[in-house]
Structure 1
């Protein structure tokens, strides 16, 4: 459970979580109650759980009572985030990531004010990083490269995944455009039939549920993987060689490896989220309407889908191509 992860570890956080608010509730129970308010969005709850845990650890290291801090302390935390590096990448946190971390802290304090556990939200007026919401760092691949990735998947040797799992994973990411979290969470029981078509029930962010059709090639890959495993309905849809649920890390490594095999430049920049951009771009180029793409991707607004469009169109339509052609340096 995510709540257990925040409340019970690491050990250094125990004293802080056991502290009691004026309402008689412990900090740990207030954290759990706050996380429970995100019950409709597992993705948001997971991210905010990690973010608040990092903030509470910071308070422990500074000897601060999180129920008593004021704006200067929260500002100090934000400043340290700006100078910190992501332990997973060794790079500085992106501005959008730092903004989310500060938003998580502010959200928790807003909850505490409403619960009567503190008198004010010290993070409300804290400075947050500015960033261009119209910019996305996500790198996509072309239709031809996506086809090459899918074509090479079935014969790809993988240390922890059978070829059928590799092929199905890439097909679900590219042909359906689902999120990596949705893929990892999918169950065999989510498969079904509707209107004469094979379908997959996808449980999305924000508690949304979409029934997505499985095109014939994808349905065949589903059958091949399940037959190879002799899978029951109560099992994960995609599993490793030992029958464990596929992980986000395994999917990320798989995508980068497939991109390299397909000849994609800088394959290390290709992520599972890149496949969602690829799905949207191919669907748009093939004539799919904006609302249909929005619904398939599970976006909360058409503006988010249009951001995906903007990322792709801003590169192909950049005047640099015209200038290079006019000056005689266009590529053959």
Structure 2
């Protein structure tokens, strides 16, 4: 166990069943998270799901990984479905299934107890992310005080997510050099999930906001530095530390409250807002999928909220 300490972290703390196993099993358990999962968000979610399952098993007298049977997985899934959403249940089942696939390949256990367990059925035609209408989005951008570097940064970040349909993770991973000129237009380079690189020309408003931010805050010479940065404590000036996603969320909520927007928006709301505005103005679903870097238009449809306006119009017909 001591030899594994450098690999462990609070997220990957060994559950009791794994801690009681031999070093071979412990090492391969940690390798599953450290070597096979590159996305940090997926790693945290899978570690949470696997830890929950193994703790559940330990509380019911299971003392070794090889003792876990399909019945245990099925009972856990049944119980889990009473307290969390269906997508969460499916994600946690996937975490357990992938872990045991890995442990079977590494000859830690003889079989995968989760492979035969079916998750709950789930079909989603409309996303749950709150969106803004174009007037609200415009009011939010216009309400930001851009007399400071913080204001210039916040406006540029929100505009980037709206106009380029960027995920907040891809936006915050950008370097200054990822804003570049090509064909006499400003472009942005986004590093999306799965190592995909996605380049997009800038809308004229985004062009203006990015220029104002980079030039106004003196970032142009620091090409390798992060594009969106934290504020150095006590100085009011930008540091060289990338802005964390949690800080971006707090900023969005603060800016929305200051602009008088009641919708409980988050970082992802701007992606859905931009896609919906694009489609309302005659854009095609296929082009929207390309711009959003979606592998399928079915994913893009989850961000299309044009039907919300139709539903609202119909509701108003109930004239009582």
Classify the TM-score, shorter chain: 0.7 to 0.9
- 1:145 corresponds in structure 2 to 136
- 1:322 corresponds in structure 2 to 314
How high is the TM-score relative to the length of structure 2? 0.82
- 1:90 corresponds in structure 2 to none
Residue 323 of structure 1 and its aligned partner are, at CA, apart by 5.8
Is 1:170 aligned to residue 194 of structure 2? no
**Would the alpha carbon gap of residues 13 and 45 (structure 1) be closer, same or farther in structure 2, given more than 3 Å must change?**
closer
Which segments of 5 or more consecutive residues in structure 1 lack a partner in the other structure? 85-92
Figure out how many residues of one structure are paired with residues of the other and give that number: 307
How high is the TM-score relative to the length of structure 1? 0.79
Q: Given the alignment, which residue of 272, 276, 280 partners 1:285?
A: 280
TM-superposition CA deviations, 1:291-326 (whole Å, max 9, x none): 2210111112011112322xx1332223x733642x
- 2:50 corresponds in structure 1 to 52
Q: Given the alignment, which residue of 184, 203, 214 partners 1:215?
A: 203
- 1:89 corresponds in structure 2 to none
How far, CA to CA, are the matches of 1:13 and 1:193 in structure 2? 49
- 2:27 corresponds in structure 1 to 28
Q: Given the alignment, which residue of 60, 76, 93 partners 1:102?
A: 93
Residue 264 of structure 1 and its aligned partner are, at CA, apart by 2.9
TM-superposition CA deviations, 1:69-97 (whole Å, max 9, x none): 1123223433453355xxxxxxxx32212
Describe the SS at the equivalent of 1:25. Answer: helix
Residue 199 of structure 1 and its aligned partner are, at CA, apart by 1.6
Are the counterparts in 1 of residues 28 and 103 from structure 2 also a CA contact under 8 Å?
A: no
How far, CA to CA, are the matches of 1:6 and 1:61 in structure 2? 26
Q: Given the alignment, which residue of 164, 173, 176 partners 1:185?
A: 173
How far, CA to CA, are the matches of 2:143 and 2:71 in structure 1? 55
**Would the alpha carbon gap of residues 63 and 25 (structure 1) be closer, same or farther in structure 2, given more than 3 Å must change?**
same
How far, CA to CA, are the matches of 1:152 and 1:19 in structure 2? 57
How far, CA to CA, are the matches of 1:273 and 1:218 in structure 2? 18
Matches within 5 A, 1:259-278: 259-265=256-262, 267=263, 269-278=264-273
**Would the alpha carbon gap of residues 313 and 78 (structure 1) be closer, same or farther in structure 2, given more than 3 Å must change?**
same
How far, CA to CA, are the matches of 2:124 and 2:166 in structure 1? 22
TM-superposition CA deviations, 1:2-48 (whole Å, max 9, x none): xx998333696276555656xx7333334424653344x55544533
Are the counterparts in 1 of residues 131 and 265 from structure 2 also a CA contact under 8 Å?
A: yes
Describe the SS at the equivalent of 1:202. Answer: strand
Q: Given the alignment, which residue of 113, 132, 156 partners 2:104?
A: 113
TM-superposition CA deviations, 1:84-138 (whole Å, max 9, x none): 5xxxxxxxx3221221111111111122223332222112233523333224221
Is 1:301 aligned to residue 304 of structure 2? no
- 1:240 corresponds in structure 2 to 230
How far, CA to CA, are the matches of 2:127 and 2:153 in structure 1? 29
Which segments of 5 or more consecutive residues in structure 2 lack a partner in the other structure? 233-238
**Would the alpha carbon gap of residues 230 and 49 (structure 1) be closer, same or farther in structure 2, given more than 3 Å must change?**
farther
Describe the SS at the equivalent of 2:228. Answer: coil
How far, CA to CA, are the matches of 1:224 and 1:128 in structure 2? 50
Residue 150 of structure 1 and its aligned partner are, at CA, apart by 0.9
How far, CA to CA, are the matches of 1:227 and 1:63 in structure 2? 63
How far, CA to CA, are the matches of 1:166 and 1:5 in structure 2? 37
How far, CA to CA, are the matches of 1:272 and 1:9 in structure 2? 26
Describe the SS at the equivalent of 1:198. Answer: strand
* RMSD of aligned Cα (Å): 3.1
TM-superposition CA deviations, 1:124-167 (whole Å, max 9, x none): 2335233332242211110111111111123599xxx8111211
